[in-house]
Each structure stands twice: as C-alpha cells, then as structure tokens.
Chains A and B, each alone.
Chain A
Amino acid sequence: MSISDWFKAREARRYTSAKGAPARGADLPDGVWVTCDSCKRIVYDGQLAENFRVCPSCGHHFDLTAHQRVELLADPGSFTEFDAGVTSTDPLGFVAAKPYVTSLASARERSGLPEAVVCGRATIGGHPVVLGAMDFRFIGASMGSAVGEKVTRTFEVALAERRAVVLSTASGGARMQEGMLSLMQMAKTSAAARRLAEERLPYLSVLTNPTMGGVTASFAVLADVILAEPGALVGFAGPRVIEQTIKQHLPKGFQTSEFLLEHGMVDEVVPRGQLPARVTLLLDYLVRGGEVA
C-alpha cells in the first residue's frame, strides 16, 4: 500500500464509522451512497439529488451532467434540444496514445451524449432563451469543431429569434485531437457572441467546475454578466502548467470562483440552489431593457 492509499483508507475509516454508513468507499453499491470529493463523508444519493447535488455537510458542488444542468436552469418541461445530430468526426485521423475515434466512442458510451454540449430552446423564469450546457464527462467537455459549431448556432438561433443566451460552461479547453480546427472555434464562437451583443440581446454565463483554457478564453467570459459556482476551478492555464513554468506551488484557492471574484473577473459566486432565481432576476433586468412585467 502506498502512503497516499494509506491516507485514503484512513480517511474512509474515520468518516464512515461516524456516519453509520457502509464501511468502505470501494464497496458502496452504485447510485445509493456517494463519497464527497471534498469532505470525504458518505452521502445518501437521494439526499444529494434533492440538494442539487451539493454536499449537505460541506457545501461541495458535485459535477452535474448537461441534462441535470438543463433541469436545474430551465422552466420545467420547457426545454427542446436542437442540433443533437451535430457531432465530432476525426478530421485529422488523430492517433496519439489512442485513436481519437476510440475516445469519441467511449465518451459517447459513458455519457450517453452525442457531443460535449447540449443546446436547445427553453424558458427561464418565463423568458425565452437558448440554453446550452457542457458535460465534462465527454472528453473533458473540450471544444472541437462540433462543440464550436453548436455554441455558434446557440448564439445564431438566439439572434434570429431574439432570445437571450444562457450557457453553463465546463471544459478542459480546446480539443487537441482536432488541432487547429479546435483553436479556430475560439475565434468562431467569440465572433458569434459579438453579433448577439451588437443586437443588445443578453448573454449570461455560469462558470462551473472546471472551466479552463480555450473555452474560458473565448465565449465563456464574453457574457454580459458572469456567474460562477462556489469553488469552481476557472482559468486560462492549468494549475500544473503554471507550477511547471514558475517552479513554485500555487497558493490555496488559486483560480477558484472566489479568487476570480476577488480579482474582478466574475460578477457573483452563486450557490447552485440559488442559480435559477438569480438567472431569472438577471433576465428580468436585461431583457427588454428592464421593463417591469
């Protein structure tokens, strides 16, 4: 047993016995009990679901799938997906370590999604919007041609139908396996976001854990108002890259939502449970120049 495994085992012992839950994390039946990544406590999955997948003990925000995001933000029953058929191909025939086609196939299988972002028409607090949500399980929700295209269409549909845009972001950055085609999606999505802005249609982004690299450095932060979930890792360069460059350890809390708020980069850090109401109120202000309904 390595030292780190020993620490993990000790942590597990310490918390499980106190809660009277099953004894070892590894033996937990799937979908009933979950170990919190942050406080390591064992949480009942049903309780977690009721709490927007936020740990009742420490407030840690678990990752949400794209569909859970949609459910969280859209008015019930209002969401209609579009462009679900826009998917990644392997334009470069990319093989490094493993073929890109294999990564795509296993991402589709694991996530049950055709691509890393889900987009559609919806209402939020009664406001017509185009809502997009990224899913980190799909190759780290990295942006290749298909994600770039779907995000661009999100802005274009909103522009054509005079809707607001709400995007929930999560991403490791540009998708390496599509090379320069991925990098150029940063320019493409930014150009589309600009066109929406020129028509004075509101765009809100919700930065969730983690949002990094080429997605942060393009459409994610071009919103009129930027919200972030507590404790989310958000930035340009990954922490490991920075540590290797500057040969120092990074301070605690670096690149978290709270760090970004302190440095003037986001408007508000909003706990998940309050997000729908917050987004609704922002749309109340920004749609139709703040006319009170």
Chain B
Amino acid sequence: MKRRHVMDFERPLVELEDKLAELRSLDLAQNPELASEVESLAAQIDVLREETYASLSPWERVQVSRHPDRPKTQDYVAAICTDVIELHGDRTFGDDEAILAALATIDGHRVAVLGHRKGKNTSENIARNFGMVHPEGFRKAMRVMRLAEKFGLPLVTFIDTPGAYPGIEAEERGQAWAIAESLSLLSGLRVPVVAVGIGEGGSGGALAIGFGDRLIMLENAYYSVISPEACASILHKDAGKAAEVASCLSMTATDLVGLGIADEVLPEPAGGAHRAPEEVFGAVRARVATALRELGSVGSDELQERRYARLRAIGVIGSDEG
C-alpha cells in the first residue's frame, strides 16, 4: 500500500480520522447508540478540519502546496481540457519534461497551455526533475508562446515549481538568459495570458511562465521571491527557521492580491485541493473560462498596454527629495 503523506500540522486530525475509520469498520448494527456517536465524531472531525484549514500559517500552506497528492498541471489539463495535443521540444537542445506544453480546448476556447510538470511518483519525478526546469524547458515554453501568438491562441499557464534548476548544465546552457528572454517575450505577447498558481511558485523559474493579464491563485498555492528554506539559510544561517521566514515573505495567495500582483484567490476544500480535486478542477475551469471570455474582447494593442501598465504599477517606493 502507498504510504500516506501526513503534514505535521494535520497529525491530530489524521489520528482522529484513523480512529473513525477503525470504528466504522466495526459492525455496529447491534449498537445504535455507538453508531450515532461515531457519526457525531465524524461531524466533529469535519469541524476541526474546517477550523484548521481556515487559519493555516504561510508555512503550513507551503506544505499543502507541496503535498505529493496535490493535483498537478497534467491533472488540470486532463480534467478541464479537451482535444489535447501535447507539444515537445525546444528545437535546439531537447525536450524538458519539467514543462508541459500543449494545444487544448477549455470550455470552447482554443488555447495553448504551458505548465510546470512535477511527477506523481519517484520515477516520474526523476524524469521531470521534480518540476525544476532547465533552460531548454523555458525555450520550449517560448517556442509555444510564439506559436500561440502567431495563430492568435490565448495562453493559459499553470505554475507549480520549486524553482528553476540550480545545476552545472543549467548554468552552461544559460539558465538566466532563458528566464530573462521568457519574461521579455511573455510581457509583450499579443494574445491574452491567464496564469494560474496551483502549487509552488518558486522564484524566477515560476515567473518565467507565471504572469500575464490575469493571475488566479489557489488558496494554498504560494508564490515567492525565494524558498523559505533558502531565505532562512541566508538570513539566519539556519534553514530550520523556514516557518518563521515564510510569514515575512508575503507569499500566500491572499498576500499577492493585497500587493496587487494576483487578481483573485480560489478557495480550496478543507484539507487542500487533493481532498476534492474535482471540485477544484471545476472552479479553475470556470475562472479560466471567464478570464478568457473577458480578455477575448480586448484588442491586442490594448491588451499589451494594459499588461504593461499592470506590471508597471507593481512595487512600493519612497520618494525623497533628491
């Protein structure tokens, strides 16, 4: 049997759930009183879960965003897209499986889809490098951006990466160059771009395909300038202080809306997206379709102006006399 992934903060909940399952496996036909107590326990667990998930700390949300059962880009594509044609390769070096690229249809809209792709198990994760993209992955994404622009297809992106891969080959092949060029291309793309934060938004590797005319964030998705662990190890010389640092970084969905970076927070079921994925898929489909409909009526010059103005407005500065 597959080992269950239990996050620290949900341990008390999980223990109760296990007890409940045990009780339910008993034959309670002879004991109606106990049976009703079991049901009241179940109700109490639901309340506890609601409460726990209503007040998660940023660090706890990071854990939910990294949950191995959390729906991945390919799950969203399978659930909300039809007539999917996956596209492969950057035409220069290789096909980075950490980026999923496809032509797809969402609610009647023909679109191009890009997303970071993590695996469901170890062998998939090795092939996809845990969703950590190499330069050829960003170049594959850029190739598909140009394709989308050429044929007037809106672009829908799914953000879910710990970050761009920090490795020797990645540097040799110009990781920074690939990200920068992707940012430039995406900023000026003449078709609508809808980005959805579904899990991890790790720094530049997330940003390379992670902004546009709309940014929709799942409730427990994060988006950050640096991973809380890396930030803690730089500022505190102690990666163990990640929980503390996570609260400083303004990296939750709600934080992003407050900073004027994201447009909306898409609520998740108590327990996280993996508890009721169909519900989340339905909501994402609806929000993306709405955004595509709204953006579809905007001319491409106007779209570009608005996207530039949107980026231009981000930041908080002082203005001393000088």
Contact = CB atoms under 8 A, between A and B. Distances in A.
B308 A191 contact: yes
A236 B317 contact: no
Contacts of B175: 217, 235-237
Contacts of B107: none
Interface of A: 84-89, 91-92, 94-97, 114, 144-146, 148-149, 152, 174-176, 178-188, 190-191, 193-195, 197-198, 213-214, 216-222, 235-238, 241-242, 245-246, 250-251, 254-255, 263-265
17 contacts: A87-B317, A92-B248, A96-B231, A179-B225, A179-B251, A179-B255, A180-B223, A183-B203, A184-B261, A187-B186, A190-B180, A191-B183, A217-B164, A236-B204, A254-B168, A263-B172, A264-B174
Interface in B214-261: 223-226, 230-232, 234-236, 241, 244-245, 248-251, 255-256, 259, 261
A185 B184 contact: no
A176 B225 contact: yes
Nearest to B320: A85
Interface string B306-322: 01100110111111111
A193 B316 contact: no
A179 B318 contact: no
B179 interface: yes
B283 interface: no
B166 interface: yes
A191 B226 contact: no
Contacts of B179: 186, 217-218, 236
A187 B207 contact: yes
B315 A145 contact: yes
A188 B312 contact: yes
Interface of B: 164-168, 170-177, 179-181, 183-184, 186-188, 203-204, 207, 211, 223-226, 230-232, 234-236, 241, 244-245, 248-251, 255-256, 259, 261, 307-308, 311-312, 314-322
Given A180-B224, A184-B314, A188-B314, A245 B166 contact: yes
A193 B211 CA distance: 17
B180 A221 contact: yes
B225 A182 contact: yes
Contact of A236 (B171, B316, B321): B171
A180 B167 contact: no
B4 to A, nearest CB: 28
Given A87-B320, A179-B225, A186-B204, A242 B166 contact: yes
A146 B317 contact: yes
Contact of B183 (A149, A218, A254): A218
B250 A92 contact: yes
A89 B184 CA distance: 27
Contacts of B261: 180-181, 184
A187 B232 contact: no
A96 B317 contact: no
Given A89-B316, A236-B171, A246-B168, A183 B248 contact: no
A198 B189 CA distance: 12
Contact of B315 (A185, A213, A217, A255): A185
Shortest Cβ-Cβ A-B pairs, 8 listed: A237-B166, A145-B315, A85-B322, A191-B187, A91-B316, A216-B176, A84-B322, A190-B183
